[in-house]
């Protein structure tokens, strides 16, 4: 206490060994600047840094190392045991409520390493080695005391037991916190607000948990918000998720899983880029062997208000589920579909979501809504809606639909596909939609690369050479989605092999390898494009003649214009007669229109429609530019 | 194919797909407002017309057709090209 002003210790009891730094400064408490020091508190076995204010502690602050510029005021207790691991090492039963997919909670968890832990349980050696590497990582950070880092604020809170709080975090009005870690940084402080009750948790940088949320065995990722009485247990929420009002049990919420409404239960499922309508519900229980059923909602799915999905089910990427479904659905090869209920039957319209304006808006909003400000982005995310992952699924789906259309007799109105009724008439229609999207994607990628190459050299031969695939991947068409990270399967297989064989000796090495997979995405994507393009058009992009290139450009334009026009038409439906129901209440007909215009705007003024219209013009312009470049090249 | 023949078949398909009585369908009926075809049903209707007339239609043009009369004109024009 050499540098301490002893007059700034009032009504303080010390126990065990306590050291306190300088305390001459001031600190702002609820808007008022107050002196540092210790007031009305019992302090046991603590190391306290410079310019800390501790005041009005109900029982004790014990066994903590407290950094400088910290405020702890009006808090019931802050105590740490000598053998606590602060939430690290707790096993969460995700995806399957009955267990079997235990995922270790710890500070360095990411959506990718959680996926590897939870979803690959058939590989015993991998699971064993991965678990050992994680436990070794946890052991390295273990301390015999709790940590409150510099610039932390803890005010008006209840009991805090075995909780580490990292720099710049703020805890105010929390009810009860036990066995957890609050990761935080200057760039993105983490916040725990009023009424929070949390046990066995890790909160990543920039997370915000408030509004009486109740957490039990939960990870909250970077930039994620949980509040408004949300309740979650055995659940993981990775980057940029939002959970309000509802409930999560055994949930693996990959990046951008969003649930805002009451009565929404997300249970025993894997989700990402997902949006839950109010009252969305899944069943993991058939009253036989207990809650053993699991659900896979591939990236980008939405469930409508009061939708119900019977698990086990696997819903294809970017699909919309409307209504209640009492059948096990399995549609990974029909992404971008509408799954709806009609007369108690579950039906699917394949590819219909390809021209929903909502899909376009989602694809654009996710990168813009990346809240993460910490320098170290823990979850690796590839945002592309159209990627080798989704496009190859569309290619498989298209082929399945065409094969079915050949084999199903005309007398049959519906066929069963993955547990759903599919109108026979939509077999060819769905295949057509998928073909349009596949060709738009492939030709867009080829034309863009060709355009870049011709921008550097007018020689057709040189430009064509730039389109060659590096052919590093042996199976460029097989892709997977590691909860946000799209990757060629074989890259993941290679990483798993190294973990299995013991060639990877630390958890940090795993994260480095995952980062390499993330940075190889564009090159790997190009390999996929070359392979799929060759299959679709019987020629590799690098072997195209100028005539073939012009035809690719034409095909890209036609598919892009067609899909774009359908999206524009979809957006205009928002201004149709149905949209105007309830406007201009008890007024004249023309008032209804004027009320609608005042509230919703007009087709001409709507920003989304305007944007889509200008994008339509951009397609035409891009087409002209591509064409000019190719025509101007020298053979 | 005459316009009358096209009209008869358009109404027959519409009635079948939307569970309506063909005799009650008028040329002025709007698919969405009077006949209750939502966006999901519209897709099925287009597919049903394609099969009925054995043609493949341009999607964005087909989705702009709002009424029975417009559908009759659309297919009459397409079939008599």
Q: Answer whether A53's CB lies under 8 Å from A73's CB.
A: yes
Q: Nearest-CA distance from B65 to chain A in Å?
A: 11
pLDDT band per the 50, 70, 90 thresholds, residue A615? confident
The closest alpha carbon to A625, from A441, A459, A455, belongs to A455
Expressed in angstroms, the distance from the first to the final Cα of chain B is 11
Whether A378 is covered by a domain: the verdict is no
pTM of the model: 0.94
Average pLDDT over every residue of A285-301: 88
Question: Of A609 and A158, which is predicted with more confidence?
Answer: A158
Residue A623 CA to residue B10 CA, distance in Å, equals: 37
Whether A617 is covered by a domain: the verdict is yes
Whether A505 is covered by a domain: the verdict is no
Residue A588 predicted with pLDDT over 90:
no
Please say which residue of A112, A139, A166 terminates a domain.
A139
Q: What is the predicted pLDDT for the residue at B1? A: 86
With contacts defined as CB-CB under 8 Å, which chain B residues touch A436? 59
Q: What is the predicted pLDDT for the residue at A3? A: 74
The residue of chain B with its CA nearest to that of A322 is: B40
pLDDT single digits (tens) A82-109: 999 999 999 999 999 888 999 999 999 9
Q: What is the predicted pLDDT for the residue at A49? A: 97
Six-digit token string for A67: 């950094």
Residue A280 CA to residue A308 CA, distance in Å, equals: 6
With contacts defined as CB-CB under 8 Å, which chain A residues touch B64? 569
| A472 CB within 8 Å of a chain B CB | no
Residue A15 CA to residue A8 CA, distance in Å, equals: 18
A:385-424 residues touching chain B, CB 8 A cutoff? 423
Q: Name residue A214's beta-bridge partners.
A: A197, A231
Expressed in angstroms, the distance from the first to the final Cα of chain A is 83
Residue A475 predicted with pLDDT over 90:
yes
Whether A595 is covered by a domain: the verdict is yes
A:526-585 residues touching chain B, CB 8 A cutoff? 562, 565-566, 569-570, 573, 576-578
pLDDT single digits (tens) A418-448: 999 999 999 999 999 999 999 999 999 999 9
Q: Answer whether A481's CB lies under 8 Å from A389's CB.
A: yes
Three-class SS state of A175: coil
The closest CB to that of B47, out of A426, A566, A577, belongs to: A426
With contacts defined as CB-CB under 8 Å, which chain A residues touch B59? 355, 432-433, 436, 562, 565-566
Residue A527 CA to residue A446 CA, distance in Å, equals: 11
Average pLDDT over every residue of A190-212: 98
The closest alpha carbon to A272, from A113, A121, A482, A120, belongs to A482
| A340 CB within 8 Å of a chain B CB | yes
Residue A44 CA to residue A231 CA, distance in Å, equals: 34
CB contact under 8 A, B43 and A577: no
The closest alpha carbon to A94, from A296, A322, A275, A244, belongs to A296
Residue A347 CA to residue A550 CA, distance in Å, equals: 40
Average pLDDT over every residue of A553-580: 84
C-beta neighbour count of A106 within 10 angstroms: 22
Q: Nearest-CA distance from B52 to chain A in Å?
A: 10
pLDDT band per the 50, 70, 90 thresholds, residue A1? low
| A429 CB within 8 Å of a chain B CB | yes
Residue A111 parent element (H or E): helix A111-119
Q: What is the predicted pLDDT for the residue at A201? A: 98
Six-digit token string for A164: 């580490």
CB contact under 8 A, A429 and B39: no
Given CA atoms A134, A136, A140, A143 in this order, what sign does their dihedral have?
A: positive
pLDDT single digits (tens) A313-323: 999 999 999 99
Range list of H helices, A279-369? 357-368
Q: What is the predicted pLDDT for the residue at A603? A: 85
Q: Nearest-CA distance from B29 to chain A in Å?
A: 14
**To which residue do tokens 């940088």 refer?**
A205
The closest alpha carbon to A106, from A205, A248, A201, A231, belongs to A201
Please say which residue of A139, A172, A206 terminates a domain.
A139
Residue A559 predicted with pLDDT over 80:
yes
pLDDT single digits (tens) B10-44: 999 999 999 999 999 999 999 988 898 888 888 89
Residue A210 predicted with pLDDT over 90:
yes
CB contact under 8 A, A570 and B58: no
Average pLDDT over every residue of A463-488: 95
Three-class SS state of A403: helix
Average pLDDT over every residue of B62-74: 91
pLDDT single digits (tens) A220-231: 999 999 999 999
Q: Exposed, middle or buried, A580 (CB in 10 Å: 0-12/13-18/19+)?
A: middle
**Tally of structural domains, chain A:** 2
Q: Nearest-CA distance from B5 to chain A in Å?
A: 22
Residue A362 predicted with pLDDT over 70:
yes
| B5 CB within 8 Å of a chain A CB | no
Q: Answer whether A331's CB lies under 8 Å from A314's CB.
A: yes
The closest CB to that of A569, out of B44, B47, B63, belongs to: B63
DSSP string, B4-69: HHHHHHHHHHHHHHHT--GGG--TT-BTTTTS---HHHHHHHHHHHHHHHT----HHHHHT--BHH
| B40 CB within 8 Å of a chain A CB | yes
Whether A109 is covered by a domain: the verdict is yes
Vertex A401: Cα angle to A275 and B68 (nearest 5): 80
Average pLDDT over every residue of A275-292: 87
With contacts defined as CB-CB under 8 Å, which chain A residues touch B39? 570, 573
Q: Name residue A244's beta-bridge partners.
A: A227
With contacts defined as CB-CB under 8 Å, which chain B residues touch A426? 43-44, 47
The residue of chain A with its CA nearest to that of B56 is: A429
With contacts defined as CB-CB under 8 Å, which chain B residues touch A577? 32-33
The closest CB to that of A566, out of B47, B50, B60, belongs to: B60
Vertex A176: Cα angle to A173 and A180 (nearest 5): 110
Over its C-alpha atoms, chain B yields an Rg (Å, rounded) of: 11
Catalogue all structural domains in chain B, each as residue range(s) with its CATH number.
Answer: 3-79 (1.10.1200.10)
Residues 6+ apart with CB under 8 A from A597: none
Among A425, A440, A562, A603, most B C-beta atoms within 10 A, so best to mutate, is A425
Six-digit token string for A312: 């086990």
Q: Exposed, middle or buried, A116 (CB in 10 Å: 0-12/13-18/19+)?
A: buried
pLDDT band per the 50, 70, 90 thresholds, residue B50? very high
| B42 CB within 8 Å of a chain A CB | no
Three-class SS state of A162: strand
Residue A192 parent element (H or E): strand A191-192
Q: What is the predicted pLDDT for the residue at A83? A: 95
pLDDT band per the 50, 70, 90 thresholds, residue A2? low
Backbone dihedral angles phi then psi of residue A79, each to the nearest 5 degrees: -135, 145
Relative to beta strand A420-423, strand A414-417 is antiparallel
Average pLDDT over every residue of A382-408: 97
The residue of chain A with its CA nearest to that of B30 is: A577
| A46 CB within 8 Å of a chain B CB | no
Given CA atoms A371, A376, A382, A384 in this order, what sign does their dihedral have?
A: positive
Whether A82 is covered by a domain: the verdict is no
Q: Answer whether A193's CB lies under 8 Å from A173's CB.
A: yes
Q: What is the predicted pLDDT for the residue at A198? A: 98
Q: What is the predicted pLDDT for the residue at A436? A: 93
The closest alpha carbon to A629, from A469, A505, A448, belongs to A448
Q: Name residue A310's beta-bridge partners.
A: A283
Q: What is the predicted pLDDT for the residue at B59? A: 81
Q: Answer whether A170's CB lies under 8 Å from A188's CB.
A: no
Residue A272 predicted with pLDDT over 80:
yes
How confident is the prediction for chain A on average, in pLDDT? Answer: 94
Residue B64 predicted with pLDDT over 90:
no
Expressed as residue numbers, the domain containing A606 is 548-631
Whether A527 is covered by a domain: the verdict is no
| A435 CB within 8 Å of a chain B CB | no
| A426 CB within 8 Å of a chain B CB | yes
Average pLDDT over every residue of A472-492: 97
């Amino acid at each position: 206490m050499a540098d301490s002003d002893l007059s700034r210790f009032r009504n303080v009891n010390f126990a065990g060994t306590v050291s306190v730094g300088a305390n001459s400064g001031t600190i702002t408490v609820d808007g008022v600047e107050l002196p540092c020091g210790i007031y009305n508190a019992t302090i046991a076995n603590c190391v306290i840094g410079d310019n800390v204010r501790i005041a009005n502690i109900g029982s004790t602050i014990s066994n903590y190392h407290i950094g400088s510029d910290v405020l702890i005021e009006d808090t019931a207790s802050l105590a740490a045991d000598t053998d606590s691991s602060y939430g690290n090492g707790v096993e969460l039963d995700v995806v399957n409520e009955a267990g079997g997919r235990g995922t270790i909670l710890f500070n360095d968890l990411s959506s990718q390493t959680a996926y590897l832990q939870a979803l690959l349980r058939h590989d015993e050696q991998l699971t064993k080695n991965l678990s050992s590497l994680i436990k070794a990582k946890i052991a390295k950070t273990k301390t015999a005391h709790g940590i409150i880092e510099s610039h932390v604020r803890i005010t008006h809170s209840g009991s805090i037991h075995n909780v580490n709080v990292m720099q710049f975090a703020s805890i105010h009005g929390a009810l009860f916190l036990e066995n957890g870690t609050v990761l935080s940084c200057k760039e993105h402080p983490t916040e725990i607000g009023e009424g929070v009750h949390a046990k066995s948790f890790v909160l990543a940088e920039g997370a915000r948990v408030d509004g009486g949320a109740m957490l039990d065995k939960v990870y909250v990722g970077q930039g994620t918000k949980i509040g408004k009485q949300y309740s979650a247990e055995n659940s993981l929420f990775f980057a940029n998720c939002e959970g309000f009002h509802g409930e999560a049990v055994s949930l693996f919420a990959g990046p951008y899983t969003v649930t805002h409404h009451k009565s929404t239960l997300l249970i025993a499922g894997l989700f990402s880029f997902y949006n839950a309508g109010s009252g969305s519900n899944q069943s993991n229980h058939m009253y036989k062997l207990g809650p053993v059923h699991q659900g896979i909602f591939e990236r980008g799915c939405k469930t409508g208000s009061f939708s119900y999905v019977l698990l086990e089910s696997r819903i294809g990427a970017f699909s919309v589920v409307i209504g209640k479904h009492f059948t096990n659905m399995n549609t990974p090869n029909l992404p971008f579909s509408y799954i709806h209920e009609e007369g108690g039957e579950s039906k699917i319209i394949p590819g219909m979501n390809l021209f929903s304006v909502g899909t376009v808006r989602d694809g654009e909003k996710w990168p813009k809504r990346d809240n993460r400000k910490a320098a170290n982005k823990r979850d690796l995310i590839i945002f592309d809606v159209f990627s080798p992952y989704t496009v190859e699924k569309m290619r498989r789906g298209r082929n399945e639909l065409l094969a079915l259309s050949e084999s199903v007799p005309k007398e049959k109105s519906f066929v069963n596909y993955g547990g759903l009724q599919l109108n026979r008439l939509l077999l060819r229609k769905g295949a057509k939609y998928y073909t349009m999207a596949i060709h738009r994607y492939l030709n867009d990628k080829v034309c863009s690369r060709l355009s870049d190459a011709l921008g550097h050299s007018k020689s057709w031969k040189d430009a064509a050479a730039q389109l060659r695939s590096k052919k590093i991947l042996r199976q460029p068409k097989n892709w997977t989605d590691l909860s946000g990270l799209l990757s060629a399967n074989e890259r993941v297989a290679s990483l798993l092999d190294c973990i299995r064989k013991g060639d990877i000796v630390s958890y940090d090495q795993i994260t480095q390898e995952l980062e390499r997979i993330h940075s190889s995405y564009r090159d790997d994507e190009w390999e996929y494009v070359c392979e799929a393009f060759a299959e679709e058009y019987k020629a590799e992009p690098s072997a195209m003649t100028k005539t073939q290139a012009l035809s690719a450009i034409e095909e890209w334009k036609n598919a892009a214009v067609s899909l774009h026009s359908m999206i524009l038409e979809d957006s205009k439906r928002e201004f149709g007669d149905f949209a105007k129901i309830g406007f201009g209440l008890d007024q004249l007909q023309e008032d209804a229109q004027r009320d609608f215009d005042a509230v919703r705007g007009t087709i001409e003024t709507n920003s989304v429609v305007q944007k889509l219209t200008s994008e339509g013009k951009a397609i035409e312009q891009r087409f002209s530019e591509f064409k000019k470049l190719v025509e101007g090249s020298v053979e | 194919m005459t316009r009358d023949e096209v009209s008869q078949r358009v109404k027959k398909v519409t009635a079948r797909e939307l569970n309506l009585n063909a005799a009650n369908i008028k040329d002025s009926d709007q698919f969405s407002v009077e006949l209750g075809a939502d966006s999901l049903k519209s897709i099925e209707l287009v597919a049903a017309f394609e099969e009925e007339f054995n043609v493949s239609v341009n999607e964005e043009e087909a989705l702009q057709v709002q009424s029975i009369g417009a559908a009759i004109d659309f297919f009459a024009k397409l079939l008599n090209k």
